[in-house]
Amino acid sequence: NYSCKLLVVGGGSGGCTIANKFARRLGKDAVIVVEPSKHHYYQPLWTLVGAGVKRVADTRRSARSVLPAAATWVVDRAACLHPERNKLVTEEGHEIEYEYVVVATGIDNDYDKIPGLKQALDDIHSGVSTIYSAEYCEKTWRDLQLFTGGDAIFTFPDTPIKCPGAPQKIAYMTDAYFEKKNIRSKANIHYNTFLPVIFGIKKYADELLKVAARKNISVNYRTLLTAVHGDRKEATFVVKDADGKNVSESTVPYDLLHVTPAMRTPEFLRTNTALVDKTGFLDVDKYSLQHKKYKNMYGIGDCTNTPNSKTAAAIAKQCYVLEQNLLKTMKQDTPSASYDGYGACPLVTSYNTCILAEFLYDGVVHETFPFDQVSAKESRLAYYLKRDMFPFIYWNAMLKGYYHGPEFVRTFAAPLARLAGKKD
């Protein structure tokens, strides 16, 4: 059994970053991280794995190499969190007592919500894949290469997901790949989304609709995948009205099906009603990131109910706020740092272009760079930032707790823009 000053549950993007920050501050053995996986992945690159630009091995490092050496790593899964007793019990029965806890478990793919999906993903011949998994993102690239013509369908589910831009990014990359291979005219590309819009922020949605139109991708709204029949290469979709009622149902043939699965928080979290809201996400204050009920508990990343875009970019900003506020809490002081909802989504549109969307709570656009991006244009620079620069920053600065978002770039980018006569 263990006890510690700070327990971090989950050692992914958010948990690893916070563990590194506090292991430095609190010293040896003060921090315990509970993380079951021996590997740490840079998930944002899985989109480019699906498009054949990277391999999954390029996105993977050992968890040991990124978690702080000064912290204790318990290689296990949280099974029950008892916030009244400041105690966590793991699946293997370890009991960990803590003074403070940060919940950072991310969200899981809920394959079972769609009958037939898991079998189809596991069947190499089904033509069904997802970039939302280390296990299946290379299958997307295989399916793209095997495609010779017909219907390529891309889906977006009816739950919150991480990186809500990725389901359409892979559709754009597929179009670009088919163009390169000279088979685009033989393909019908469909983007079937449960949402009523292509993107939540109008400025970017307008530009993305132009991209989809130029690429001849048919965008179908309120359209939900409900079953996969991988053996006969068919998929069932339901079209809903604005009230969520079924309007129609159809089973259609596909030649390639890219699925964005439904997602949810891990079971130990979503079933603990003291910790979560009615949607099953950790119930924290959206500005301070402190749990609404338990003041010695904070949350970071995809598992919380803060209404921002679930991205690694958001975690870069959140980790600073959480650090400042948790330090205050540790001194019996009132937390005062505030998270503004920053999130970013580099929407790759081909093998060398990307629209870099950046925004705050309530869809307020908040861009860093004074060029291309100010009018949401497709840019080469944004593509190389996504492919090369962001992974570099992630491994070398963010996970170590030294990167708090691109705000510092804005301080010199804005005067440059003014000099160049551009408006913000």
Active-site residue set: 163, 345
Binding mask 86-115 for ligand FAD (x = CB under 6 A): ------------------xxx---------
> Which one among 47, 168, 192, 193 touches ligand FAD, defined by CB under 6 A?
47
- Distance, CA of 206 to CA of 346 (rounded, Å): 16
Closest approach, Cβ 15 to ligand FAD, in A, equals: 6
Residues of this chain, 273-302, that bind ligand FAD according to CB under 6 A: 301-302
Closest approach, Cβ 369 to ligand FAD, in A, equals: 16
Binding of ligand FAD by 36 (CB under 6 A): yes
Closest approach, Cβ 409 to ligand FAD, in A, equals: 16
Binding of ligand FAD by 32 (CB under 6 A): no
Q: 120 or 348, CB closer to ligand FAD?
A: 348
Binding of ligand FAD by 162 (CB under 6 A): yes
Please name the residue that has the structure tokens 């540790």: 330
71: DSSP letter: S
| Cα within 13 Å of Cα(306), Cβ side | 34
Binding of ligand FAD by 313 (CB under 6 A): yes
Q: 217 or 315, CB closer to ligand FAD?
A: 315
Binding of ligand FAD by 46 (CB under 6 A): yes
Chain position whose Cβ is nearest to ligand FAD: 12
Binding of ligand FAD by 12 (CB under 6 A): yes
Q: 75 or 330, CB closer to ligand FAD?
A: 75
Burial call 8-21: b when 16+ CB within 10 Å, e when fewer:
bbbbbbbbbbbbbb
Binding of ligand FAD by 6 (CB under 6 A): no
Binding of ligand FAD by 259 (CB under 6 A): no
Binding of ligand FAD by 21 (CB under 6 A): no
Q: 233 or 258, CB closer to ligand FAD?
A: 258
Instruction: Tell the burial category of 102 from Cβ atoms under 10 Å away from its Cβ (0-12, 13-18, 19+).
Output: buried
Q: 15 or 127, CB closer to ligand FAD?
A: 15
Binding mask 128-157 for ligand FAD (x = CB under 6 A): ---xx-------------------------
> Which one among 18, 67, 78, 102 touches ligand FAD, defined by CB under 6 A?
78
- Distance, CA of 346 to CA of 357 (rounded, Å): 6
Q: 77 or 229, CB closer to ligand FAD?
A: 77
Q: 187 or 313, CB closer to ligand FAD?
A: 313
Q: Which residues bind ligand FAD (CB under 6 A)?
A: 9-15, 34-37, 43-44, 46-47, 77-78, 104-106, 131-132, 162-163, 166, 266, 268, 301-303, 310-313, 315, 344, 346
